[in-house]
């Protein structure tokens, strides 16, 4: 049985609040970095607060949620249903290899066709794209 590398939750258990692996039940993104808490607490208001602090008051932007706001957010999460830990491996979208090694390239958009540009590819599959399109996919 796998465990979360950040909070050590077992599969099927909830993450500790603040764990960087917990998913938001509203947007599906990383819970600690999405804006859903601000939206659901009514704190995100560009008309009232402007763009300087990304639509938040200076206090919230600089210090985060107050203890009272944190409790309200936790209640909102409980009501929506927090997402328990289940290991979901990164998989190359072409060959199905689990946990492909990460690599960096400046030429991703040149060789990788648009439907795959937001997907994960292993190095071998990326090299295959370069073989198929030696001058880039736009040049065929």
Instruction: Say whether pLDDT at 1 is over 80.
Output: no
Output the six-digit token pair for 123: 């190095």
> Do 121 and 112 meet the contact criterion of CB atoms below 8 Å apart?
yes
**Mean pLDDT across the chain:** 94
pTM attached to this predicted model = 0.70
> Do 12 and 85 meet the contact criterion of CB atoms below 8 Å apart?
yes
List, for residues 38-57, the tens digit of each pLDDT value.
999 999 888 888 788 888 88
Higher pLDDT, 57 or 37: 37
> Do 92 and 122 meet the contact criterion of CB atoms below 8 Å apart?
yes
Radius of gyration of the chain (CA): 20
- How many CB atoms sit inside 10 A of residue 86's CB? 11
Instruction: Say whether pLDDT at 131 is over 90.
Output: yes
Angstrom distance (rounded) from CA 62 to CA 59? 5
Q: How confident is the model at residue 15 (pLDDT cuts 50, 70, 90)?
A: very high
């Amino acid at each position: 049985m796998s465990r979360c590398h950040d909070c050590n939750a077992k599969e099927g258990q909830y993450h500790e609040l603040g764990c960087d692996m917990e998913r938001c039940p509203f947007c599906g993104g990383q819970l600690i970095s999405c804006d859903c808490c601000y939206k659901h607490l009514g704190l995100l208001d560009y008309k009232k607060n402007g763009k300087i602090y990304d639509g938040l008051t200076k206090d919230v932007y600089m210090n985060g949620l107050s203890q009272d706001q944190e409790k309200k957010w936790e209640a909102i999460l409980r009501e929506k249903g927090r997402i328990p830990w289940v290991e979901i491996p990164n998989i190359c979208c072409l060959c199905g290899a689990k946990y492909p090694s990460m690599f960096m390239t400046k030429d991703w958009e040149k060789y990788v066709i648009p439907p795959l540009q937001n997907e994960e590819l292993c190095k071998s599959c990326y090299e295959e794209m370069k073989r198929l399109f030696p001058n880039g996919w736009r040049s065929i």
